[in-house]
Structure 1
Amino acid sequence: MNGDWLVRGRDGRLCVSLTSGEAVLCRAEHLPVGAWRPARRTGGEQRLHPVLAVGPGADGYAHLVSWRPPVPGESGPVHSTHFRPLLAPLDWVPIGHPDKKGDRTGVPAVAVDAEGRAHVFVRNAGAGLSMVAQKERGGWDPWRDLKGSGVQGPPVAVTGESGRVEAYAATDDTLLHWRQAEPAAPPARDDTARAAARPGTLRALATSAGRTTLFFTDASSGELCAWRPGGATVPLLPAAGPGRVAAVRCLLDGRDSTVLAQRAASGRVALAAYPTEEEGAGASWTEHGPGLPPDAEVALTLDHTDRVTVAALEAATGRLLVARAQHDGPGVAPGPWQEA
């Protein structure tokens, strides 16, 4: 899965999206901080490949993107919108193919602009990056080739505080960045940085007005690093484990802070916090909760009271564990873990 699969809906309920065989499932709280309802299938009985991108909008709607195999040997991206956690997501809608026709080209990423339009990014057959966006009054624009070459692993997409969409991708030795110069404009190449990111470890977060931060694990050093276009990459702390990091902003002791979570090599969830965009202030991991299998993914969000909430999802079984953070001192520690 790629993106924020743990989402706070506009009614305050938390919702998770996950893949299960040839389907995408959604689960939601019956009430905020209440019991979780059983999983429901997204988009009817359509068969999907086991891949999912999720991007929440400022309106609390979650946009889902997957690949559907219409005929043997071919696939096409499909999109659905989940308006409220207790409602069923919309049916899957085909959005064309980045190369007009063919099989899967990569794991997609999706972000939502200030007007609620989804922007879908995916590596194309030429190992560049392509994008398609929703029209203002329904339907989709044509796919655009955003250029680039040698893209490895999934791209990531993020919406800045301005409501404009940005995307990041990595080659074997370079980080690539695209951003919208103005609302509704196609994202354009903006900056690059020399770095070898471990494939599948990119995560982006809006961290201030006009700026987003890319987190990635350096392939050679194993350091979790941060990069803001226009600046240099900055080592933050050793990665707790091999997978992607989750990130969310919140107030800790009244200070704008970034909280990170990752499945540690021990199998437990590791958390770290530091003042937003002040990587030099230092951060350190603390491990929490039970041991998780290697396929577990970790996510962060803020609940209806703006408490940091961490979720761990076991991909093979669909088991979901959730804990709300208890803010105490300079760090952030979760309370009891509950199986949803």
Structure 2
Amino acid sequence: MRRGSSDRVGAAHPTGLTAAERERIASGAAHGDWLTLGKSGRLSLYAPTDEGLLRWTEVTAGGPEWSGPHFVAAPGLSHLAVAQGPDTYVHFLGRRERAAADGARSVDIVHAIQYQTGLAFTDWRSLGNPDKDREQGRQVGAPVGAIAPDGTVHVFVRNAQRGLSLRREGPGGKWKAWEDLHGIGIDALCAPVALATGRIEVCAAAETGVFLWRQLEPGGDFTGPRGFSLRPAPGTVSAVESGPERATFFWTDADSGGAAAWRVGRWPAVLGGSPADRPYAALRTSLDGYDCVVLAYRDRDGSAVLGVGGTEDEDNGFWWYTLAESCQGAPALARDGHGRVVMALIDPDGVPKVARQENTAGLTFGQWHRL
């Protein structure tokens, strides 16, 4: 595997750096919404590093200056995912590996929250492991989060049996027990999406195709998994709410090598582009008065790629642009405090870079800014 292609915390840093420089270097890209917009209108960017994570924050809404990095300790963290709810609280989920008293390794899932932009995190809380057997528990996958409109946190992981497990908050903030949502042979990372009506849907690539789980009502049980004979490439599935009570899922098609968009009740739409090697970053936004979806991904050569097309209008084409930037892991997309699209990536040397939408027709980014 080429250096910089892993999103595992603790990947090798560039050599020849001082200790102070290493403290500012990310070890990859986090999973999920690692570029977030707070109530203050300021963006924050989060990236894993050795024994914790780093945070950069805009000094004023809309930039261009950023403060940071601020280091948050998280010993033993092997994977980091970031999710944000409508209340703008930022949730951090990690897969933690630790040595027990007898020297054996154990794995648990941990959770922390940042309530306000640029301020402190809560302590890391262990959510345990869906597999009670310690040896089997070491096979649990990385967590993925979805935050319902009422703020309820949902944590999904692939369990040792390669099915899907869920742990979520109950009334009053007390966590419910782990739930087995079943499935078999699923990919390491599922793609949940929280719909504005309160329901959550989850899509996962599997050895036999695609599995889909759906809540029938907000806060309710999950039905499924329902299987579909489709061919997504593992590790590339992502999701966006594309209409009332509708989610569109994006992935790289294993047969054609290009991007595909799929909604329940229709065949996948072919979008073109080169193969991705991580999940797509997906953002729904308005461009020149049109409802659009912006996609960003890392291709197999390590280059960042950007795509734009009409929301639920895939048949009219997607426009792809290979950027002159290389990155680790998947890029991130968000809107800043002025509504402009911002793209972030972690470059091969572990340095975050951001580019902001210019005031022109279509979607054009200005100069990349190293944090």
TM-score, normalized by length of structure 2? Answer: 0.85
Q: Write the deviation string for residues 220-252 of structure 1: whole angstroms up to 9, x where unpaired.
A: 220111111232222111236433321101111
Q: How does 1:188-267 map to 2 (within 5 A)?
A: 188-189=223-224, 191-239=226-274, 241-264=276-299, 267=302
Instruction: Report deviation, 1:141.
Output: 0.3
Distance 2:222 2:38 in 1: 27
1:54 aligns with 2:82: yes
8 A Cα contact 2:83 2:145, kept in partner: yes
SS in 1 for 2:255: coil
1:130 aligns with 2:179: no
Q: Write the deviation string for residues 102-132 of structure 1: whole angstroms up to 9, x where unpaired.
A: 2241121100001101100001111110000
TM-score, normalized by length of structure 1? Answer: 0.92
Alignment-derived partner of residue 107 in structure 1? 142
Distance 1:327 1:256 in 2: 17
Alignment-derived partner of residue 43 in structure 2? 14
Which stretches in structure 2 are left out of the alignment for 5+ residues?
A: 1-29
Which stretches in structure 1 are left out of the alignment for 5+ residues?
A: none
Distance 2:177 2:195 in 1: 23
SS in 2 for 1:280: helix
SS in 2 for 1:15: strand
8 A Cα contact 2:181 2:225, kept in partner: no
Distance 1:227 1:136 in 2: 34
Alignment-derived partner of residue 65 in structure 1? 93
Alignment-derived partner of residue 370 in structure 2? 339
Structure 1 residues 98 and 265, CA gap change in structure 2 (3 angstroms) = closer
Distance 2:158 2:300 in 1: 29
8 A Cα contact 1:191 1:230, kept in partner: no
Choose from 324, 340, 355 the match for 1:307. 340
SS in 2 for 1:291: strand
Distance 1:125 1:266 in 2: 31
Query: In structure 1, what residue type is equivalent to 2:370?
Result: E
Question: Mean alpha-carbon deviation: is it higher for 175-184 or for 22-31?
Answer: 22-31
SS in 2 for 1:332: coil
1:281 aligns with 2:316: yes
Distance 2:227 2:313 in 1: 21
Choose from 15, 29, 37 the match for 2:58. 29
8 A Cα contact 2:198 2:219, kept in partner: no
Instruction: Report deviation, 1:158.
Output: 1.4
Question: Mean alpha-carbon deviation: is it higher for 165-174 or for 55-64?
Answer: 165-174
Q: Write the deviation string for residues 55-84 of structure 1: whole angstroms up to 9, x where unpaired.
A: 110111111110222423211000111112
Q: Write the deviation string for residues 74-101 of structure 1: whole angstroms up to 9, x where unpaired.
A: 1100011111221122111011211134
1:120 aligns with 2:118: no
Alignment-derived partner of residue 116 in structure 2? 84
Q: Write the deviation string for residues 265-314 of structure 1: whole angstroms up to 9, x where unpaired.
A: 565432221110111010121233x4315x24311011111111101113
Identity rate, percent: 33
Structure 1 residues 334 and 37, CA gap change in structure 2 (3 angstroms) = same
Instruction: Report deviation, 1:184.
Output: 1.1
Alignment-derived partner of residue 14 in structure 2? none
Q: CA RMSD in A?
A: 1.9
Distance 1:326 1:286 in 2: 16
Instruction: Report deviation, 1:31.
Output: 1.8
Distance 1:190 1:264 in 2: 30
Distance 1:17 1:166 in 2: 25
Query: In structure 1, what residue type is equivalent to 2:363?
Result: V
8 A Cα contact 1:300 1:309, kept in partner: yes
Choose from 69, 91, 95 the match for 1:39. 69
8 A Cα contact 1:172 1:197, kept in partner: no
Instruction: Report deviation, 1:264.
Output: 4.2
1:156 aligns with 2:191: yes
Structure 1 residues 200 and 266, CA gap change in structure 2 (3 angstroms) = closer
Q: How many residues align?
A: 334
